[in-house]
Amino acid sequence: MALYMIGDVQGCDEPLGRLLDELDFSPSRDTLYLLGDLVNRGPASLKVLRRLIALDGSAHSLLGNHDLHLLAAAHGVRKPRRGDTVDDILSAPDRDALLDWLRQRPMALFEHGWLMVHAGVLPQWDVADTMARARELQSTLRSPDWAAFLQQMYGNEPALWSDSLKGADRLRVVVNAFTRLRFCTAQGVMEFASTEGADDAPPGFMPWFDVPGRRTAGVPVAFGHWSTLGEVKREGVLPLDTGCVWGGCLTAARILSAPGQVERIAVRCEQARKPGKGL
């Protein structure tokens, strides 16, 4: 049995198929953990969803910002943006079933010694806090009035977590941390404008995983979302968005028996999209 974590697929089904072949992946034997942004920007978002749904219990997928954007676009909360590639899903005869499957995905996982998120974890949260916040958001997205939450989901404020936050403000901080976070202050104030690498943090900010005293520092964390991050040599920090949709690689990390240790396997991707805002 092999366990793999995979970074942002973003609609790149052909590289995903080649990566699974490279892994000699067997649904009856192995397990995949996909770290969100399953769809959008790449050419075959519908194929990606159908492939993962067919894998059933052998593939576990997180929700990323592009996945939430698809849900919002499908319900008229967000207009499709230039460069979006989700029309194949929105026009599919089984679109409702596909979208329902997508919204049921978790926001975070803690499996086999690894904390898995799409973007980041606020420095104030330990693993228990992280999973509790994930359950709050998941419960909302799985509730009968989940579409109403999408109307209140977008925005940069509040930018700082507080246990006293309630309602839409509370959930907005949670969704932004899990799906948009790159940089924050030492106090945990989030910044959303910058998409550069770790060495190009805005003044007063730093990568979320470099905050002194981060409460998840003792637990290995795997995440995607940050294709411009580059190489990171921090113990227990595993970025897996290696820019497949921008012509980079699609990367899997096989979880090894030694705590926090992985073996990376990657395939080259042929997309040549031009990076821009909204990565």
Mean pLDDT of residues grouped by 10 in the chain (279 residues)?
A: 97 97 97 98 97 96 98 92 93 97 98 98 98 98 94 97 97 98 98 93 97 97 95 92 95 96 94 45
- Under a CB-based contact definition with an 8 Å cutoff, are residues 37 and 8 in contact? yes
Cα–Cα distance for residue pair 265/256, rounded to 1 Å: 13
For position 81, what pLDDT does the model report? 86
Cα–Cα distance for residue pair 187/211, rounded to 1 Å: 8
Tokens 């599919």 sit on residue: 92
Nearest to 42 by CA among 102, 93, 89: 89
For position 82, what pLDDT does the model report? 87
Integer CA distances (angstroms), 12 to 130, 185, 247, in order: 29, 34, 10
For position 271, what pLDDT does the model report? 63
For position 160, what pLDDT does the model report? 98
For position 231, what pLDDT does the model report? 81
For position 278, what pLDDT does the model report? 38
For position 96, what pLDDT does the model report? 97
Nearest to 211 by CA among 177, 244, 179: 177
For position 277, what pLDDT does the model report? 37
For position 275, what pLDDT does the model report? 45
For position 230, what pLDDT does the model report? 81
